[in-house]
Amino acid sequence: MAIEWSDTYATGIEQIDNQHKELFKAVDRLLSACNGGKGKEEVGKLMDFLKDYVITHFSDEEELQKKHGYPKYLEHKKVHDDFVASFGRLMEKFEEQGPTLSFITNINKTVVDWLINHIGQVDKEMGKFIKEKIG
């Protein structure tokens, strides 16, 4: 399964949309490496990159929400924190097992599905609020 950006995921906030596009690219690189039979070291580097990028992106997104007094900030932050926790569990499994088939399945479920749902709904809702605020 590939992950591809589509304008239907756009929140309308340029900085966030650009980061989301980078996230999609990072996940796509990760999946391609797994599916292309790359080894643990190479896939591990892509996992590390993705983890760091996710953390930076979430913190930028949360700052933006705070700055604009987004009423669902705490709720949204909790969803981000939960994702970081489940990504951490995935990293632990990866450390033990490497890029196995079950790891790839987990990436698809935990990361790809989550990102598409989160960006397509939760982030778009946030974007709508902030855009109206900025006017």
- Helix pair 40-67, 14-35: axis angle to 10 deg: 160
Which residue number, 28 or 62, has a Cβ lying nearer to Fe ion?
A: 62
- Minimum gap (Å) between residue 124 Cβ and Fe ion: 10
3-state secondary structure of 103: helix
Which residue number, 99 or 127, has a Cβ lying nearer to Fe ion?
A: 127
Residues 36 and 72 sit within 8 Å (Cβ to Cβ)? no
Question: Hey, how many other C-beta atoms are within 10 angstroms of the C-beta on 46?
Answer: 20
Dist CA 89 CA 84 (whole Å): 9
Which residue number, 17 or 123, has a Cβ lying nearer to Fe ion?
A: 123
- Minimum gap (Å) between residue 62 Cβ and Fe ion: 8
Q: Is residue 123 a contact point for Fe ion (CB under 5 A)? A: yes
Q: Is residue 17 a contact point for Fe ion (CB under 5 A)? A: no
Binding site for Fe ion (CB under 5 A): 123
